[in-house]
Amino acid sequence: MGSNPIRGTKKNMNFKKTLEKLKKEIDQELDKYLAGAICDAEKQDKEMGRILRHAAKIIMASGKRIRPILMYFGYVAAGGKDRKKIIKTSVGIELIHNYLLIHDDIMDHGRTRHGIETVDAMYETMGKNIFPDCQDLKHLGNSMAILAGDLLESLGTQSIVDSGFDAKLTVKAVSALQSTIATTIVGQTQDICIENKKRVLEKEVLTMYKNKTAKYTIENPLKIGAILAGADAKFLQKISLFAIPVGMAFQIQDDILGLFETSEKMGKDAGSDVKEGKKTILVLRAMEKAGREEGKFMRNVLGNEKINLKDIKKFQNIVQKTGALEYSQNLAENLVEKGKAEIETFKINKEAKVFLLELADYMIARRV
């Protein structure tokens, strides 16, 4: 095994170009939308303007726009033709995503997102200048971050509601969206429970991955797009059979990257998953297979915010030599194959089919 143990397949250039092209178009729409929303917010209240401006800075700093891109391809897969309209509408799902991220960052004590201070961290740093009389800047930051998330939820839902698609389809799409948000909240609750329990089963973690990632990141945007193109129940069911395993593979790959990839690429603090005490499939498996000494070491450093680079290296090393890395990689690969098999026999728009199959591979080949 070389210096970087993460598996990677040869990248498909057309696929990467498609991703980049769509990301650029979505970013333009997102930027335009946020500029308008900040302007509106500032007219109403200076501080609301500041909060949204900072949230927009985080949103625009980075992000793969995977959810809007999937919404686009769900629409195309189901035969949708109004390219411009679906791209404009897909901004809504990215706003919803950032609503959930901002609230997650409060719960996970995240200090930066995409290399930018989180909303609460910004108020803790800058708050003294804005509110010299404030006695509790930590609490103020917490409040402002709750509000930032709540605002993005409203803006996101409203931009899908106001998209101008057929009203019956819009009602169906917003109902599906809100239902998925509820499931994601279940997943986040499970995540917190797992964090706060000593003994956790692999099964529990996989259920959480299904709720918090697979349904939310892959199934939901594909479904919303397909619904807006008028897809029927059978079509949506097929989409789910593809999306759930592929989405779970996406999360497992995320765990691998979260432990092994450098922080600059991920835009997160180095070893943040270990610092946060995340009990991933990777970590659970390693702790199960490790000897007593190394198992004890893992339990000790997991959740230690002050872990040093040497201990992170040691942690990585145990995950590799116990076979936990390989186990996770194989699990992800099998899930991807399962998803691909569903879509291969499915009669959908050819461009969308090619994209979804390549996307499935990308889930486990990606390095960011």
Rule CB under 8 A: which residues touch a second copy?
A: 41, 44-45, 47-48, 51, 103, 106-107, 109, 131, 133-134, 139-140, 142-144, 146-147, 149-151, 153-155, 157-158, 161-162, 167-168, 170-171, 174-175, 178-179, 181-183, 185-186, 188-190, 192-193, 196-198, 211
Phi first, then psi: give them for residue 64, nearest 5 degrees.
-85, -10
Checking phi first, is residue 114 left (phi over 0); if not, alpha (psi -120 to 50) or beta? Answer: left
| Closest distance of CB 162 from a second copy, Å | 5
| Closest distance of CB 275 from a second copy, Å | 14
Q: Which is nearer to a second copy, 129 or 345 (CB)?
A: 129
Q: Which is nearer to a second copy, 152 or 312 (CB)?
A: 152
| Closest distance of CB 14 from a second copy, Å | 38
| Closest distance of CB 289 from a second copy, Å | 22
Phi first, then psi: give them for residue 45, nearest 5 degrees.
-165, 130
Phi first, then psi: give them for residue 116, nearest 5 degrees.
-110, 145
- Count how many residues are written for the chain: 368
Q: How many CB atoms lie within 10 A of CB 308?
A: 11
Q: Which is nearer to a second copy, 171 or 368 (CB)?
A: 171
Q: Which is nearer to a second copy, 221 or 352 (CB)?
A: 221
First-to-final CA distance of the chain: 20
Q: Which is nearer to a second copy, 19 or 187 (CB)?
A: 187
| Closest distance of CB 343 from a second copy, Å | 27
Q: Which is nearer to a second copy, 12 or 158 (CB)?
A: 158
Q: Which residues pair with 112 in a beta bridge?
A: 117
**Kind plus residue range of the DSSP H or E element containing 195:** helix 167-195
Cα(209)–Cα(363) distance, rounded to whole angstroms? 14
Cα(266)–Cα(261) distance, rounded to whole angstroms? 7
Q: Which is nearer to a second copy, 18 or 190 (CB)?
A: 190
Phi first, then psi: give them for residue 77, nearest 5 degrees.
-55, -40
Name the residue among 272, 240, 232, 241 with its Cα closest to residue 254.
272
Please name the residue that has the structure tokens 């996307």.
359
| Closest distance of CB 96 from a second copy, Å | 11
Q: Which is nearer to a second copy, 149 or 339 (CB)?
A: 149
User: What's the number of CA atoms in the CB half-sphere (13 Å) around residue 320?
Assistant: 15
What are the CA-CA distances from residue 269 to residues 203, 231, 263, 297, 337 (Å)? 28, 41, 6, 21, 32
| Closest distance of CB 286 from a second copy, Å | 20
Structure tokens at 81: 């033709």
| Closest distance of CB 228 from a second copy, Å | 13
| Closest distance of CB 48 from a second copy, Å | 5
Q: Which is nearer to a second copy, 133 or 293 (CB)?
A: 133
Name the residue among 220, 186, 268, 209 with its Cα closest to residue 97.
220
